Structure 1
Amino acid sequence: MKSSAAKIQITGLDDLFGGIPAQVAADQIQELSLRELHPFKEHPFHVADDEKMREMAESVAQYGVLVPGIVRPRPEGGYEIIAGHRRSRASELAGKETMPVIVRDMDDDEATIVMVDSNLQREKILPSEKAFAYRMKLEAIKHQGQRTDFTSGPLGQKWSRDAVSANSPDSARQIQRLIRLTELVPCLLDLVDQDKFPLRPAVEVSYIPMDGQELLYNVIENKSFGPPSMEQAKKLRECSERTELTTSLIIDIISDEKPTPLQVTLKNKCLSQYFPKDYTQKQIEEVILSLLETWKYQQKGAVTDGSNS
């Protein structure tokens, strides 16, 4: 395998390998066969064989996995990966047979929270990945809140949102929006991932029943309309709460566009022949506005004279 290890900053291994610190004693780290390692159940993060993965595989081939993964024993045998899915795949691509890991006994809730927090440190994450990851973490925290061995009192909704935002790059409010994306039909969620459907309008659409969402996607896909704006998304949501959405109603709403604001651009080459070279932009703007005011009054005078003739 051709090495491109020079492109990788060794000091940035936390970024390269998922941000899991290796602050453990050497006897806690085990070399386990890759065949014994299994993905986390319903793991919401994609492990893509992209350029980043190829770089990681080249580094693993040359240096090995320098930051161990975290796994837990499975009742049926083997180990479930909590943190280290990309490292496991990179090891496989690098031709390794084993990977260093830390084995920990965790219940489902603890494992889910660690899995989500470790993956959220990645550089690039799709909105859909964050959405389902945050929902999994929220459900785990709420479940813990119902257990007396984790908390002495009930877990309120606001407390839950704040707890989810701990160790996360997003605010509690943003997390709430992202979790709403899990209520979108997959085809609309794909548009969000492709940066074709902004987050805030998508959140509004997530409150529309599934059949209405599918109709909206068909209109976007087959009628050559763009996704709804924030104002249009709110109208769609309001209409869906009063009546059943139809294709014609959706088209009426998302085709109701505001007029595009008039913009005039004057190039420097055109302006330079009318103004001294030492004039600032502010001075030029003041002169142009003054001339336009004069022109406006002249036009009013011409209209008045014409009406009196």
Structure 2
Amino acid sequence: MARKVNVGAMVAHDVFKLDTSPMQVVQIPLEQLIVNEHNFFTVEDVQELADDITLNGLYSPLTVCAAGEGKYRIVAGHRRRKALELLGRKDAPCIVKTYDGEDSEMVALIQSNLTSRELTYYEKMQAVVLLEKALRSMKERGVELPGRLRDHLAEQVSESASAVHRMQYIHKNLSPALLDALRREQIGESVADELAHSPKKVQEEFEQRLARGETVRTQDVKAARDKPTVSDGVVDAFLLRHIAKGHEAALYRVLHDRQRMAAIQLIPEIKSALHFYGYQGFTSEGVWFDLNGSGLEVKKPFQGKLSWSQIVQRLRGMVESGKIAPPADEPAPEAQALRQLDEQMQQAVAELPQVNGNGHVCVTGLNPYGVCGSAQCCGQPYACCMACPEPCNIHCGYLPKPQPAPVWHPYPDEKPEEGQTVLTLSRNNYNRGNYAAYVYRAGGWYLPEFPDDGLMTVDVRWWSAELPPEEGSK
């Protein structure tokens, strides 16, 4: 017939005494007290305990059980034994108990530590796991535990049932190396939980990070878990075949022309280039994917998720590597812009207009608004200051003096002379190409009007070397 027990009394060892004689404290030599092989609690840093024993004496005796050959196995008091040894004591006061099974002894060992010290998360988790194992063993021996086992565990470790469930999940699903990292407090409870919910490959990645001494945060684990767990080549091949196919020209124009823009800013343009309206289903090859408002989810041939920002980054990498190339009949945007600028400048020099009216369009396109303000206010019969040989105080500033069709040099592969004023082609977040005249000095670009303190932050890609250095430049 099953025995009904009070769990609290059971853990307090009362139901496990086979002898009914009063408990007696006996002095046992320290050399006869052996460590319990099931003890997982930390026994380091006992100096403070030793100091307290020196001042106030030992508050309670150790609890032990006979281990044969004159030895006694410690059930409660591993730190006390070590502190006494540190103090040079030869023996320790002990209460010798007898337990009716290994599971009963395990419960006693765990409970004595739960009530006498502050535990780490790892120690509390181990207590839950081993206490559960011991209580299940007792149930098999006929000890009846009313109610849910998890509720009993929660009561013993002073945690909620959900917290106990979390500990059980972490212990079951975390790799041995990461469990050891939790024990050594390299990672905390939240990181351990995120890793326990991650696939084996992600856990292996963070084992390596921890081995290199890196600090791991929960957001790092989430980011690694959300990215595809297959090679970049497989992901790129999938995007090329099932996402980018048929849209290469449009994707190239968007990504090549705006390669400096943040990925999130490019999302609307990428969606437009893909004619995105959302798709879910199987392709003719049996590949399942879902391209929706939040990104891309694939379940075959690999399992993974990509946000729209990640899609943009991967497509941008394909453009840079040449996997997404410009159409054969269309030159690259930079080459096209430079060719157009050359043609317009040659026209400005060779074909002088007969009239100069208000609102005249700047033939070089140097004005950001397409209208040359200098030409509107000037009485000379030229469309642009580029073609005018006369010095004046309303010169547009883009070109200090008339020049022939320029020769363009890539920057920074080729650099102007120190102090030289040149026409530059640069990039920004708003224009495909931005043309301006700058003075090159000490590796930086300065406004001609302020050659000493007019340092500009510009992304120069090309420059024309037709303008000579200014006299007296440094």
- TM-score bracket, normalised by the shorter chain, equals 0.5 to 0.7
Partner of residue 178 from structure 1, selected from 163, 167, 173: 167
On the 8 A contact 2:194/2:221 being kept in 1, the answer is no
User: In structure 1, how many angstroms separate the alpha carbons of the residues matched to 2:93 and 2:202?
Assistant: 49
Matched position secondary structure for 2:28: strand
Residue 190 of structure 1 and its aligned partner are, at CA, apart by 4.8
CA contact (8 A) 2:62 2:76 kept: yes
Contact kept, 8 Å, 1:128 with 1:182, in 2: the verdict is no
RMSD value over aligned CA atoms?
3.9
Which residue of structure 2 aligns with residue 199 of structure 1?
189
Q: Which residue of 2 aligns with 1:302?
A: none
Do structure 1's residue 135 and structure 2's residue 129 form an aligned pair? yes
TM-score by length of 2: 0.40
Q: Which residue of 1 aligns with 2:93?
A: 100
Counterpart check, 1:71 vs 2:64: yes
SS in 2 for 1:226: coil
Q: How far apart are residue 222 of structure 1 and its match?
A: 4.8
Structure 2: 5+ residue stretches without partners: 1-11, 14-20, 236-304, 311-474
Count of residue correspondences: 219
Provide closer, same or farther for how the CA distance between residues 205 and 26 of structure 1 changes in structure 2, counting only shifts above 3 A.
same
Q: Which residue of 1 aligns with 2:25?
A: 29
Deviates more, 1:84-93 or 1:62-71: 62-71
After the TM superposition, which residues 41-56 of structure 1 pair with which residues of structure 2 at under 5 Å, given as runs? 41-48=37-44, 50=45, 53-56=46-49
Q: Distance in 2 between matches of 1:189 and 1:97?
A: 37
Distance 1:29 1:207, change over 3 A: same
Aligned equivalents of 2:219 and 2:132: distance in 1? 29
> Secondary structure of the equivalent of 1:167?
helix
Alpha carbons of structure 1 residues 179 and 44: separation in structure 2 relative to 1, 3 Å: farther
Q: Which structure has more helix as a fraction of its residues?
A: 1
- Other-structure match for 1:14: none
Q: Could you tell me how far apart the structure 2 residues matched to 1:121 and 1:30 are? A: 23
Residue of structure 1 in register with 2:317 after alignment: none
Partner of 1:162: 151
1:188 aligns with 2:155: no
> SS of 1:74's equivalent?
strand
Cα offsets for 1:150-189 (capped at 9, x unmatched): 12xxx79x71111222332222221222233334234433
CA contact (8 A) 1:70 1:104 kept: yes
Instruction: Quote the residue 1:144 is aligned against.
Output: 138
CA distance in 2 between counterparts of 1:79 and 1:180 reads 35
Q: Is the 8 A contact 1:131 1:182 kept in 2?
A: yes
Which structure shows the higher strand fraction?
Answer: 2
Contact 1:65 1:91 in 2 (8 A): no
CA distance in 1, matches of 2:207, 2:92: 44
Q: 1:39 to 1:146 in 2, by over 3 A?
A: same
Deviations 1:165-220 (A, max 9, x none): 23322222212222333342344335545665342342242244555422232246
- Higher alpha-carbon Rg: 2
Q: Is the 8 A contact 2:23 2:95 kept in 1?
A: no
Contact 2:34 2:74 in 1 (8 A): yes
Q: Partner of 1:177: helix, strand, or coil?
A: helix
CA distance in 2, matches of 1:114, 1:37: 17
Query: Structure 2 matches for 1:291-302, cutoff 5 A?
Result: none
Q: Relative CO higher for 1 or 2, CA cutoff 8 Å, sep ≥ 6?
A: 1
Letter of the structure 1 residue corresponding to residue 195 of structure 2: V
Deviations 1:25-57 (A, max 9, x none): 986111111111111223110101x2xx21211
Correspondent of 2:36 among 40, 44, 66: 40
* In the alignment, structure 1 residue 124 sits paired with structure 2 residue 114: no
Please tell me whether the aligned partners of residues 128 and 193 of structure 1 are also in contact (alpha carbons under 8 angstroms).
Answer: yes
Aligned-residue offset at 1:93: 0.6
Letter in 1 for 2:51: E
Stretches of structure 1 that go unaligned for 5 or more consecutive residues are 1-18, 258-309
Partner of 2:92, secondary structure, is strand
Map of 2:52 onto structure 1: 59
CA distance in 1, matches of 2:165, 2:220: 17
Residues 219 and 247 in structure 1, CA contact (< 8 A), matched pair in contact too: no
8 Å CA contact 2:154–2:161 kept in 1: the answer is yes
Match of 2:218 among 204, 228, 234: 228
